Amino acid sequence: MRPSPLWLDATEAAAKLGVSRATLYAYVSRGLIRSQPLPGSSRARSYARDDVERLLRRAEARRDPAQAAAHALEWGVPVLESAITFIDGRSLYYRGHDVVVLSRTRSVADVASLIWTGEFGQRFGTPKAIAVQPSLPRDASFVAKAQALLAAAASDDPGAVDLRASSVAHAGWRMLHLLTGAAIGWPGGRPNVTIDERLARAWRAGPDGAGIIRAVLILCADHELNVSSFTARCVASAGSTPYAVVIAGLSALEGFRHGGAGARVEAMLDAIQQEVAPERRGRQLALRRTLEARMRRGESIGGFGHPLYSDGDPRARALLELLQQHYSGSDELRFVNAFVQAAASVVREPPNLDFALAAVSRVLRLPANAPLMLFAIGRTVGWIGQAIEQYATGQLIRPRARYVGPAPTSA
């Protein structure tokens, strides 16, 4: 029986490291690589993939430290230790739990408890409302509204400067409800109504829609050291409050290369749907030709491919499967499925989370900018978890720059 994607057999591990089996066993005996019995075998063992890859990165850094440092912050080696999220190239895990399973079996509160405390079942009380709502222009963006609301809430929270894990978790739970209010117009929440139910009711998404919204929030909760989570950890490392952490995370998330990518995917889908609308019978062929024309013009087809997943983004796959399960008769879903099939022969990449969020928004007929709002609310769980970890280290994140400017001159 083969090991799981998290583990390698002896032949694979030794080949990856470029060493003999004897050297591999020596690494295990020195505690550098974890091993465990291979299921179904009395003698064979499997070896932790992340330990093998960590040894490889160390060897590469020793051979060329300058090159390793130059690429460390661009899809490179991890720069911080974290016990929250593990990505093995196929699946995503929160503290060892498969995120797709969590999205189908657990509540947002359960997953927040897992990420913030390491166990299910912790609850963080009834979130406190704020006394005065900030005044903003009616057409202000969601992120602007959310940041203003969080800034007002921080000034109204005497415990904001308490950076102990339990206090940060309580502040995080309050912020999740505040961001939900910002997304639906800031009405007060009721203790017996969950975040996903509040969103579904406000957006008239129905019970099936509430379940999919819950899955979205859980699947978006964390994704290792993405740009917004790294930003959140940097702010936390400075000793700033958890409110400041989430405000900073929102600023990074809004960018078009991160959470803001969903808006570009939405716009692309709208434009292409209008373009191929007259071709009802030959829509599949029209979609493929439209995508090919865009590619020839040098235009990108957003929402496909992810550098961390060789077999496709599991979060996107889970959401598209849920849509198929509950909305198989939807015209919007038929268009989404046709688009994915056309892209498979043109882009040759499976859809990623950005595409799936846009698909959910279309099928559930959610308001404009819903993908970013859902992403932000869900990812706040991760930002708070990252902040709790960073506060515990007591370390300031301060990388060095590799200077490439003009040589200094004497006075």
Q: Do 250 and 143 contact (CB within 8 A), yes or no?
A: yes
Residues 249 and 297 in one domain: no
Q: Is residue 46 part of a domain?
A: yes
Range of the domain at 291: 261-363
- The predicted pLDDT at position 78 comes to 60
- The predicted pLDDT at position 55 comes to 85
Final residue before a domain boundary, out of 56, 79, 102: 79
Q: Which two tokens stand for residue 357?
A: 């969020």
Residues 238 and 206 in one domain: yes
Q: Is residue 197 part of a domain?
A: yes
In Å, how far from its chain's centre is CA 19?
35
Residues 125 and 217 in one domain: yes
Q: In the chain, how many domains are there?
A: 3
Residues 272 and 156 in one domain: no
Q: Is residue 2 part of a domain?
A: no
Residues 121 and 72 in one domain: no
Q: What are the per-10-residue average pLDDT scores of the chain (411 residues)?
A: 69 92 88 80 81 80 61 64 91 96 98 97 88 83 95 93 96 96 77 89 96 98 96 97 98 94 93 78 84 87 89 96 96 94 90 97 95 98 98 92 83 64
Backbone angles phi, psi at 46, to 5 degrees: -115, 160
Q: Which two tokens stand for residue 139?
A: 């057409």
Alpha-carbon distances of 130 from 19, 22, 111, 133, rounded to whole Å: 60, 63, 25, 7
Q: Which two tokens stand for residue 69?
A: 């440092």
The domain that holds 265 is classified in CATH as 1.10.230.10
Residues 226 and 157 in one domain: yes
Q: Is residue 409 part of a domain?
A: no
Q: Is residue 398 part of a domain?
A: no
Q: Do 6 and 48 contact (CB within 8 A), yes or no?
A: yes
- The predicted pLDDT at position 1 comes to 46
Alpha-carbon distances of 315 from 118, 306, 355, rounded to whole Å: 22, 11, 10
Q: Is residue 399 part of a domain?
A: no
Strands of 45-48's sheet in order across: 7-9, 45-48, 35-37
Residues 158 and 306 in one domain: no
The domain that holds 106 is classified in CATH as 1.10.580.10
Q: Which two tokens stand for residue 160?
A: 């904001």
Final residue before a domain boundary, out of 79, 109, 126: 79
Residues 115 and 221 in one domain: yes
Final residue before a domain boundary, out of 79, 100, 117: 79
Q: Is residue 163 part of a domain?
A: yes
- The predicted pLDDT at position 57 comes to 76
Where in the sequence numbering do the catalytic residues fall? 306, 354
Q: Of 146, 171, 143, 169, which Cα lies nearest the Cα of 157?
A: 171
SS3 80: coil
- The predicted pLDDT at position 130 comes to 82
Residues 103 and 244 in one domain: yes
Strand 45-48 relative to strand 7-9, pairing = antiparallel
- The predicted pLDDT at position 331 comes to 93
- The predicted pLDDT at position 394 comes to 94
In Å, how far from its chain's centre is CA 275?
32
Residues 277 and 229 in one domain: no
- 329: left (phi > 0), else alpha (psi -120 to 50), else beta? alpha
- Compute the distance between CA of residue 256 and CA of residue 333 in angstroms, rounded to an integer: 25
Q: Is residue 145 part of a domain?
A: yes
Residues 232 and 135 in one domain: yes
Residues 137 and 154 in one domain: yes
- Compute the distance between CA of residue 202 and CA of residue 80 in angstroms, rounded to an integer: 39
- Compute the distance between CA of residue 373 and CA of residue 322 in angstroms, rounded to an integer: 20
SS3 19: coil
- The predicted pLDDT at position 3 comes to 47
Buried b or exposed e, range 217-231, using 16+ CB within 10 angstroms = bbbbbbbbbbebbbb
